[in-house]
Amino acid sequence: MPKKYFYFFGDKKNTEGNTKMKNSLGGKGANLAEMARIGVPVPPGFTVSTEVCDLFYRSKKSFPEKLQPEFLKYVKKLEKASGKKFGDPVNPLLVSVRSGARVSMPGMMNTILNLGLNDRTAQTLAAKTKNESFAYDCYRRLIQMFGDVVMEVNREKFKITDKNLSEQEQAGLFKDIYKKECGQTFPQDPLTQLALARDAVFKSWNTPRAQTYRELYKIPHTIGTAVNIQTMVFGNMGQDSATGVGFTRDPSTGEKMFYGEYLINAQGEDVVAGIRTPHPINELKSRLPRAFNQLKQITSRLEKHYKDIQDFEFTIEKNKLYMLQTRTGKRTGPAAVKIAVDMVREGLIKQTEAVRRVQPDQLNQLLHPIFDPKEQKKFPVIAKGLNASPGAASGQVVFNADEAVAQAEAGQRVILVRSETSPNDIHGMAKARGVLTATGGQTSHAAVVGRQMGKPSVVGCGVLKVNEEKKLFVVRKDGQDITVKQGDYISIDGTTGEVMTGDVPTQESEVIQVLKEKLDPKSSKSYQHFAKLLGWADKIRRLGVRANADIPSDAALAIRLGAQGIGLCRTEHMFFAPERLPIVQKMILAKTESERKEAVNQLLPMQTQDFVGILEAMQGFPVTIRTLDPPLHEFLPKKEELMVEIATAKMELSRFESNDPKKEELVNTIQSKEKLLSRVSELHEFNPMMGHRGCRLGITYPEITEMQARAIIEAACRLKQKGKKSLPEIMIPLIGTVAELTNQKAIVNRVAEEVMKKYGCKIPYTVGTMIEIPRAVLTADEIAREAEFFSYGTNDLTQMTFGYSRDDAAKFLSYYVEHKILPHDPFVSIDQTGVGELIKIGVKKGRATRPKLKIGICGEHGGDPASVIFCHHAGLDYVSCSPFRLPLARLAAAHAVLGEKS
């Protein structure tokens, strides 16, 4: 049991607390004490500590009897410090009673102002301020607040119907209401008021509202709140009084400027409530120059003292300045970066601290186009989906990829809206400004590709009824159907998931303009800050970062974004190119092995060119190339579409005369479609995600692996002939048993030997595997006998570990997260308990066999800060993510190291 329960603050000498004592004093109390301690003028007061809150709850919600004498001692101390006395008819002490926990819970707990007023002191206040209506307004508010907070009388009960009553008469009426509702008169004794108010603050810690808030933000229920009892000061004591709030720097841009607002002759509430329009703080200089200068000096000192931007509140009572609050200021992403970099330059903080100050997610705001916040308000939000890929986009709606391409090439801005997207839509997604889908979760095709392209995307927007045939979608909102047709403008915000009708103006960030080489880095301060901060992060982090990229231009971008290699180059995206798809289909539909080999061989020169491009772009950095992964039917038309086409064509058949030559043509069409349907049906799978894909394809169709291995090694050999280095890592997907890898590795090695012999050179390639099947984790020791590296495919691993199909889970996952069955969407941030456990098992088993085994992660989680930190602690060598996520990953990796040290 600690000996000290109460902490005084007021002047340097008598102040007992400091900023480090947030556990006992709460954030507000600790900062008030700190300010007082360093000589900043604060109205005197004292803090009843959180330990008392604990005792209060242990004593069946009553203030511990034995602490009563000490409490009264502090009241006396306060009276002495303020030179005022509770209930004194001449110089009455008025106080505020406020809660203050270790962690801020804005608006969650109770506050009582003007405590100490009663019939007599109200009169005194009126006389002293020469403002009767102000004084009785204060009294009236106290009665109402007290009734609400202490006696639990609904605020609405305090109503004034007769508008002609004076403030004093209104106060009288409120006392009557109080008596009627509470069955007792409003307590005139200020000490009684104080005791009741203090206890009411403690009780407010456990309201359902506060409990819910804590659960939401993961704040422990046990930390309790402190109670701050502080002398009231008044900014509304005339033209020499004022009140205001401010920041030591611009929290929106980070610019170093005095920033804030004030009102003359007003109370703090008036600034916040917006009843009167406040003035820019610099204008205070001409109104109350002495107080202004003092304020500027004090806040500047506070910033230096706290070594961070301060968010402060002040009141000037009759030319005398009081600081009421100071705390670390919240800021936007761009401001966070600029302030961190500036403060290092100013010598306030070290580089590591600058890195620690910026949250990885904040970097998003520097990377993605954004809506003009003022403009945005004018447009109605019609739906909200999952915020799959951040950034803002607006344009005309199109419902298929080809039209997206056509219209974009005609110079229009388009938003591609689909029920869902598939690899067939990639060309359209590339040309669209943004993508909106009705189904799919955070790692659905649209989401993954959207993020990879840095394309604003909202997915899984279930309220959308998309009719691709009729080219419209319908949203039901407030009992009405809103229909959006092709060509209508919509705007989507990939950062919030909001969908708006209309064309909300957007802007591309400077950083992006530099990265896309549209803007000289020298002319962008924000890029320079961004680059400097990430440079510091790079010096701190040990975890490598790589990019998921399939094409040379993405690879080049990835290098500019700090990639140290490619962690995942998907080869199937190359198969969907329009000029290749027919050959791929020929390969699939082949009846004989030789027919299939012929088609595969046609793909060889194309794939070789692909790999020459990407290996060259990566300038000798390692490039992990995954062999073919998706099920073959993804390359064929959909079964149900074919069935409808055939049925329709057959109906049509009956319309023709029997000798009509068109009839024969139609019969032929039907026959060829039926043939195609038969193959599509053969390839149809109930659960394609767990079907004939990944290495299962490479094993049953070895010629595909053979062709891909040949293309990779050929590409590396050709580059070597031109004197260029390359480092291909060939990755076999979906391994579940070591025998699969043995099989595929043998093919790769055989082909590689052949090709290297032909070119007369050696390529330092390696062969490894994705770890994405639970069984691969469980047998990682066996698999590591063959695998020269592991790369966790956490998308699939999450699917299999939970038994969630990422394309379907959106239907219940949002419900799960909302009802706290899951803490978060496991496709967004690694499930550290389940999937994380598997990752750790795999690392342990893999390195038991091969101690220096290189292990990375190439799932979507590679760009999620929490997951990056997890990967660091799990002992991985690198994370790989989509290029635009690289900055986040670099910063998060640095945070992981900083977290280790602290």
Among 163, 686, 852, 901, which residue sits at the site for a second copy (rule: CB under 8 A)?
686
Q: How far apart are CA 510 and CA 337, in angstroms?
A: 14
- Site size toward a second copy (CB under 8 A) is 58
- Minimum CB distance to a second copy smaller for 521 or for 691: 691
- Minimum CB distance to a second copy smaller for 87 or for 834: 834
Contact window for a second copy (CB under 8 A) among 137-145, 222-230, 719-727, 729-737? 729-737
- Minimum CB distance to a second copy smaller for 394 or for 799: 799
Q: How far apart are CA 517 and CA 772, in angstroms?
A: 36
Does the protein bind a second copy through residue 834 (CB under 8 A)?
yes
Rounded to a whole number of angstroms, the minimum distance from the CB of residue 833 to a second copy is 6
Among 803, 851, 852, 901, which residue sits at the site for a second copy (rule: CB under 8 A)?
803
Contact 719, 612 (CB under 8 A): yes
- Torsion, Cα 732 738 739 741, to 10 degrees, reads 20
Contact 478, 377 (CB under 8 A): no
Residues in region 198-237 near a second copy by CB under 8 A: none
Whose tokens are 């900062």? That residue is 31
Residues in region 444-473 near a second copy by CB under 8 A: 465
Does the protein bind a second copy through residue 647 (CB under 8 A)?
yes
Q: How far apart are CA 514 and CA 91, in angstroms?
A: 64
**How far does Cα 93 stand from its chain's mean position?**
46
Joined together, the tokens standing for residue 721 give 């002939």
Whose tokens are 């030789």? That residue is 594
**Backbone phi and psi for residue 528, each to the nearest 5 degrees, phi listed first:** -60, -45
Residue 278 vs residues 239, 265, 284: alpha-carbon distances, Å: 15, 11, 11
Residues in region 419-448 near a second copy by CB under 8 A: none
Among 320, 816, 817, 847, which residue sits at the site for a second copy (rule: CB under 8 A)?
816
Q: How far apart are CA 709 and CA 144, in angstroms?
A: 79
Does the protein bind a second copy through residue 902 (CB under 8 A)?
no
Rounded to a whole number of angstroms, the minimum distance from the CB of residue 773 to a second copy is 4
Q: How far apart are CA 493 and CA 365, in angstroms?
A: 12
Among 230, 495, 708, 799, which residue sits at the site for a second copy (rule: CB under 8 A)?
799
Rounded to a whole number of angstroms, the minimum distance from the CB of residue 641 to a second copy is 8
Rounded to a whole number of angstroms, the minimum distance from the CB of residue 780 to a second copy is 11
Contact 458, 436 (CB under 8 A): yes
Does the protein bind a second copy through residue 639 (CB under 8 A)?
yes
Contact window for a second copy (CB under 8 A) among 65-73, 248-256, 502-510, 682-690? 682-690
Burial class (CB in 10 A: 0-12, 13-18, 19+), 56: buried
Does the protein bind a second copy through residue 849 (CB under 8 A)?
no
Contact window for a second copy (CB under 8 A) among 116-124, 140-148, 588-596, 792-800? 792-800
Contact window for a second copy (CB under 8 A) among 84-92, 191-199, 475-483, 810-818? 810-818
- Minimum CB distance to a second copy smaller for 661 or for 803: 803
Rounded to a whole number of angstroms, the minimum distance from the CB of residue 712 to a second copy is 23
Joined together, the tokens standing for residue 105 give 């819970």
Does the protein bind a second copy through residue 692 (CB under 8 A)?
yes
Q: How many beta carbons lie within 10 A of that of residue 131, not counting itself? A: 19
Among 59, 328, 779, 849, which residue sits at the site for a second copy (rule: CB under 8 A)?
779
Does the protein bind a second copy through residue 64 (CB under 8 A)?
no
Does the protein bind a second copy through residue 593 (CB under 8 A)?
no
Residue of 138, 695, 717, 858 marked catalytic: 858
Rounded to a whole number of angstroms, the minimum distance from the CB of residue 211 to a second copy is 18
Rounded to a whole number of angstroms, the minimum distance from the CB of residue 806 to a second copy is 9
Among 801, 829, 867, 880, which residue sits at the site for a second copy (rule: CB under 8 A)?
801
Does the protein bind a second copy through residue 690 (CB under 8 A)?
yes
Q: What is the full DSSP assignment across 231-272?
A: E---S-SSTT-EEEEEESS-TTT---S-EEEEEET--HHHHH
Rounded to a whole number of angstroms, the minimum distance from the CB of residue 359 to a second copy is 27
- Minimum CB distance to a second copy smaller for 591 or for 722: 591
Whose tokens are 């006389």? That residue is 127
Question: Is 305 an active-site residue?
Answer: no
Q: How far apart are CA 281 and CA 263, in angstroms?
A: 9
Q: In 3-state terms, what secondary structure has residue 881?
A: strand
Contact 441, 813 (CB under 8 A): yes
Residue 425 vs residues 405, 436, 577: alpha-carbon distances, Å: 10, 12, 11
Does the protein bind a second copy through residue 50 (CB under 8 A)?
no
- Which residue in 641, 629, 642 sits closest to 575, CA to CA? 629
With a CB cutoff of 8 Å and minimum separation 6, the contacts of 581 are: 575, 635
Does the protein bind a second copy through residue 399 (CB under 8 A)?
no
Among 342, 510, 629, 772, which residue sits at the site for a second copy (rule: CB under 8 A)?
772
Edge-to-edge strand list for the sheet holding 434-437: 381-384, 498-501, 489-493, 392-398, 414-418, 434-437, 457-459, 386-389
- Minimum CB distance to a second copy smaller for 213 or for 802: 802
Does the protein bind a second copy through residue 643 (CB under 8 A)?
yes
Q: How far apart are CA 19 and CA 36, in angstroms?
A: 10
Edge-to-edge strand list for the sheet holding 465-467: 465-467, 472-477, 480-485
Strand 622-626 relative to strand 259-264, pairing: unpaired
Q: In 3-state terms, what secondary structure has residue 630?
A: coil
Q: How far apart are CA 477 and CA 464, in angstroms?
A: 10
Does the protein bind a second copy through residue 187 (CB under 8 A)?
no
Does the protein bind a second copy through residue 831 (CB under 8 A)?
yes
- Torsion, Cα 777 783 789 791, to 10 degrees, reads -30
Contact window for a second copy (CB under 8 A) among 143-151, 478-486, 519-527, 690-698? 690-698
Rounded to a whole number of angstroms, the minimum distance from the CB of residue 387 to a second copy is 22
Contact window for a second copy (CB under 8 A) among 71-79, 494-502, 573-581, 817-825? 817-825
Residue of 53, 138, 368, 445 marked catalytic: 445
Question: Is 445 an active-site residue?
Answer: yes
Q: How far apart are CA 362 and CA 368, in angstroms?
A: 11
- Minimum CB distance to a second copy smaller for 723 or for 803: 803
Does the protein bind a second copy through residue 637 (CB under 8 A)?
no
Element housing 225 (H / E): strand 225-231
Q: How far apart are CA 238 and CA 228, in angstroms?
A: 27
Among 151, 688, 725, 849, which residue sits at the site for a second copy (rule: CB under 8 A)?
688
**Helix and strand totals (H; E) in the chain:** 36, 31
- Which residue in 500, 486, 519 sits closest to 393, CA to CA? 500
Contact window for a second copy (CB under 8 A) among 548-556, 660-668, 688-696, 867-875? 688-696
Q: What character string, x for contact with a second copy (CB under 8 A) and - otherwise, covers 732-751?
A: --x-xx-xx--x--------
Residue type, 114: N
Contact 695, 735 (CB under 8 A): yes
- Minimum CB distance to a second copy smaller for 753 or for 837: 837
Among 165, 815, 875, 899, which residue sits at the site for a second copy (rule: CB under 8 A)?
815
Does the protein bind a second copy through residue 480 (CB under 8 A)?
no
- Minimum CB distance to a second copy smaller for 29 or for 736: 736
Does the protein bind a second copy through residue 689 (CB under 8 A)?
yes
Give the residue numbers marked as catalytic: 445, 858
Q: Which chain residues interact with a second copy by CB under 8 A?
A: 465, 639-640, 643-644, 647-648, 651-652, 678, 685-692, 696, 699-700, 734, 736-737, 739-740, 743, 772-775, 778-779, 796, 799-805, 807-809, 811-812, 815-816, 819-822, 831, 833-835, 837-838
